Amino acid sequence: MTGFDMRTAVGVCLGISVLAGMGLAGSSATGAAPVAAAGVKGDPIYERKAIMQRLDEEGEVLGNIVAGIEPPERLAEVTRTIANDAKESTESFRTIAPGGRSRDEVWSNHDDFMKRMENFSRNAEAMAKAGETGNMAAVTSLMVDAMPCKQCHDTYRAPKKPS
């Protein structure tokens, strides 16, 4: 791989591993009732969880492509899917629906949260465009900004409750 540092790829893969455990199931500290029955299609919390789980899976595949485990021919497909799901996840948080593992700050500081989500969506789109060219180095250079999961989760996501 020309212009590509395997240590960088491994680092990016490790960074993507923060996507693990993306489920947002749980209860809201606000006690607000969800818009639809919890855990069913149409419930915004359920829908957010499903999108985040897909992003987790896609991030793992992208990490495997960058690491050379999966074929590079999948780069365009996977980066496009991530961009589409980033956009869908952004839209899913426009509806005020406290619950899951979203901290109350998602809703009390919704403007900042949505700014972060819109940046996520925009950066994932840029990564998808780079993916369409097949330029692995360009995709790798955009991955941290295109998938800022940890930065957002540190502020806006409650920790998992022990089982």
- Could you tell me the residue ranges of all domains in the chain? 6-20+33-156
Question: Mean pLDDT across the stretch 17-45?
Answer: 46
Chain segment 15-29, per-residue pLDDT in tens: 444 333 333 333 333
Chain segment 133-151, per-residue pLDDT in tens: 999 999 999 998 898 888 8
Q: Is 85 exposed, middle or buried (0-12, 13-18, 19+ CB in 10 A)?
A: buried
First-to-last CA distance in the chain?
Answer: 43
CATH class assigned to 6-20+33-156: mainly alpha
What is the tally of helices (H) and strands (E) in the chain? 7, 0
Residue 41 in this model has a pLDDT that exceeds 70: no
What is the DSSP code (8-state) at residue 4?
A: -
pLDDT of the residue at 40:
65
Strand runs labelled E in 80-121 = none
Chain segment 117-133, per-residue pLDDT in tens: 999 999 999 999 999 99
DSSP three-state, residue 157: strand
Chain segment 68-91, per-residue pLDDT in tens: 999 999 999 999 999 999 999 999
Kindly report the average pLDDT of the chain as a whole number.
80
Chain segment 55-67, per-residue pLDDT in tens: 999 999 999 999 9
Confidence tier at 39 by pLDDT (50, 70, 90): low
